[in-house]
Amino acid sequence: MMKRLFSWLALVFAVAIASGCAHPITMNPDLSTIAGDPSAVIGKSVGYHIAESAKALEVTTGGGGGDKVRYFPYRDLEPGLYKALSELFTAVSRVQDPKDTAAMNSKGIQLLIVPEIKTLSSSESVFTWPPTQFTVDLTCTVSSPQGQAVDVIRVSGYGQATFDEFKSNFSLAAVRASNDALGKLVKALTASSRLRN
């Protein structure tokens, strides 16, 4: 009887320790899904800037079962951002210092793009922790190397995954949201007449 009681208490303690923790996932997009229209390429060289502090930023949002998930939005999304920009512009470079006009001019950069990423996740499940819904809000501020405003592009990507799907990939909802946001970004950049002037 006492042995069963201790076993039960040990189980309760383990569940209490496990609940409320933040599980690591990634937002890494599937780069093969990011494609543009070759006939709509803009003949300009662009640079993008993501601060090192942003790449090191770890975000925690909701999961299921009272748990949370944690991930690095800027670090995870950067390869997808590079691919999205490469689908539309003839040359893409990473800019270390957005105030270093001379360095950008030496690379022939005509537009500077600075992304801002906001995320949200949730799940209605009380038994599993991976998120079943994930949202990525992506805002890209476009300016000249001299700091003159050109355009602001805003897109929102949404990803959903059921238990049968994410049981082999806990990050699936986040990946789908990243894919959706980057696909919409390519379309929004393509549609912007200000980037072509």
- Structural domains of the chain, with CATH: 45-195 (3.40.50)
Pairing verdict, β 42-48 and 111-122:
parallel
| Strand-by-strand arrangement of the 22-24 sheet | 22-24, 68-71, 59-62
175-190 pLDDT, tens digit per residue, is 999 999 999 999 999 9
pTM: 0.88
Judged against a pLDDT cut of 60, whether residue 16 lies above it is answered with no
Residue 145 exposed, middle or buried by CB count within 10 Å (0-12, 13-18, 19+): buried
Average pLDDT over residues 23-52: 96
Proportion of the chain above pLDDT 70, given as a percent: 90
What is the number of other CB atoms lying within 10 angstroms of the CB of residue 1? 5
